Amino acid sequence: MSKMWGGRFEGGLDPYFEEFNRSTDFDCELAHFDLLVNAAWAAALGHAGVLEADEVERICAALETLREQWSEEGLLISDTTEDIHSFIEQQLTELVGDLARKLHTGRSRNDQVATDLRLYLFERVAMIMNEARDLIASLLEVAEQHSATPLPGYTHLQRAQPITVGHHALAYVEMFGRDLSRFTDLWERADYCPLGSAALAGTAFPIDRDALAESLEFTQGATRNSLDAVSDRDHVCEALFCCSMVMIHLSRLAEDYIFFASHEARFLEFSDLVATGSSLMPQKKNPDAMELIRGKTGRVAGSLQAILMTLKGLPLAYNKDLQEDKEGLFDGLQQTESCLIVAATAVRSTTWHEERCREACEHGYLNATDLADFCVRNGMPFRDAHEAVGAAVRRALELGVELHDMSDEELTSLFPALDLAVMRDALAVEGVLARRDVLGGTAPSRVAEECARWRAEVESWKV
């Protein structure tokens, strides 16, 4: 087919460059959105007196025919077509003849693709947000079931203090909740319609751009500067940043679960739904689902870096560099959505070994801080208490026992002024957890409160 821009040129393109220049391999993702944009533009041209009413009707009917055809047969694009926009114009020409040549009046592929991309982004972001909510619901189920199940908490990957499985799950609920809010913020900033900005200076025809924006369901109206509108890719950067943060959180969750499932920890076991075996070692059960999530994180974050570097130093307005905005965005959105789905399956189907978790909390001196706090409550300055408990840990290490397993004689020699019976109660795992009864703490009662708060939030999503 002839090029949309071919009038000024005499010769053909170098075949290698022509292939290099093509974008239909990836911008075909925008095909159905381009149909919507074409229909809205046809109507706007009709209101502006550029097209007759019957011409608008014929164009819109032809666009609907294409939509139905693609839904039934798929999208078959010639390998010589430059981009999805020229392909659709070609298809329209076959259906309505020269009338199709009027449709591009007053607009450019610059504002056309900018509008397509925002509509595509909104749909994909909505899908990602739904999957994030599902993962939150899965984590919340874990938190509700295990609000009082002890679990070693770690700093520097060393056992630190007891927490609960529920508290751990709610930490990730908070992370993914923030991710949802970031996507919401992105949506609000991107919810302006670029169509009518033309190539860079704005359309020369009397288009009601606010009405056009409303017809495409942009809630914030039309963009306010045509130069910015056609060259703006902030929403692409923000979307990939939001996806990168989701993936970072997923990767941290994956790392925790991979460690928790190790033979050294044995706190949980993945179901057969999300684990695979070894082709050599029959005993292996590998956490491949979580490892793949962890591995794909760099891929999504890399797409963010790519678009940032593409935009760096670009002059106004449109430059062909911006063709590079799509592949990374499409892949980043797809990978993020897929990882959320897999993570929710993994979380929902995982079995927690409660006795093993509790047992682990009783080894590694996780109650040392509570012994220091007990000393403080009995009148000792904290720094003195810290030093005294440090000496007690050193002595326990020499004896090869835990603090709560030391003999009365040893404890009396270390803490002569303290009531040993009350001290031992203070060192029990249940007591250690219960004392963290502050907002945001790991006490089972606080975990249950947070579960109830998040349960109300999750239920509100179903309305």
For the stretch 19-73, pLDDT in tens is 888 888 889 999 999 999 999 999 999 999 999 999 999 999 999 999 999 999 9
CA 192 distance to own-chain centroid: 22
Between helices 288-311 and 325-349, what is the axis angle to 10°? 160
388-401 pLDDT per residue, tens:
999 999 999 999 99
* Residue 174 confidence (pLDDT): 98
DSSP 463: -
pLDDT band, residue 1 (cuts 50/70/90): very low
Radius of gyration of the chain (CA): 30
For residues 220 and 191, is the Cβ–Cβ distance under 8 A? yes
For residues 292-314, average pLDDT? 97
Whole-Å CA distances, 395 to 156, 229, 382, 445, 456: 23, 69, 20, 34, 49
* Residue 26 confidence (pLDDT): 87
For residues 354-377, average pLDDT? 97
pLDDT band, residue 15 (cuts 50/70/90): confident
* Residue 4 confidence (pLDDT): 66
DSSP 193: B
Between 13 and 268, residue with greater pLDDT: 268
**All domains in the chain, ordered by first residue:** 13-105 (1.10.275.10), 110-148+155-352 (1.20.200.10), 360-461 (1.10.40.30)
State yes or no: is 278 an active-site residue. Answer: yes
DSSP 19: H
Determine the Cα–Cα distance for residues 85 and 31; give it in Å rounded to an integer: 8
The active-site residue out of 2, 78, 156, 460 is 156
* Residue 237 confidence (pLDDT): 98
Determine the Cα–Cα distance for residues 161 and 8; give it in Å rounded to an integer: 73
Is the pLDDT at 77 greater than 90, yes or no?
Answer: no
Q: What does the mean pLDDT of the chain come to?
A: 95
The active-site residue out of 71, 181, 262, 278 is 278
H helices of 83-219, in order, are 84-96, 109-145, 165-190, 209-215
Q: Is the peptide bond before 222 cis (omega within 30 degrees of 0)?
A: no
- Buried/exposed 312-335: b ≥16 CB within 10 Å, e otherwise: eeeeebbeeebbbbbbbbbbbbbb
Degrees to nearest 5, angle at CA 101 with 99 and 103: 85
* Residue 241 confidence (pLDDT): 98
For residues 247 and 240, is the Cβ–Cβ distance under 8 A? no
For residues 383 and 303, is the Cβ–Cβ distance under 8 A? no
* Residue 76 confidence (pLDDT): 84
Degrees to nearest 5, angle at CA 323 with 239 and 113: 75
* Residue 75 confidence (pLDDT): 86
371-424 pLDDT per residue, tens:
999 999 999 999 999 999 999 999 999 999 999 999 999 999 999 989 999 999
Contacts 24+ apart (CB under 8 A), 381-388: 388/414, 388/415
State yes or no: is 262 an active-site residue. Answer: no
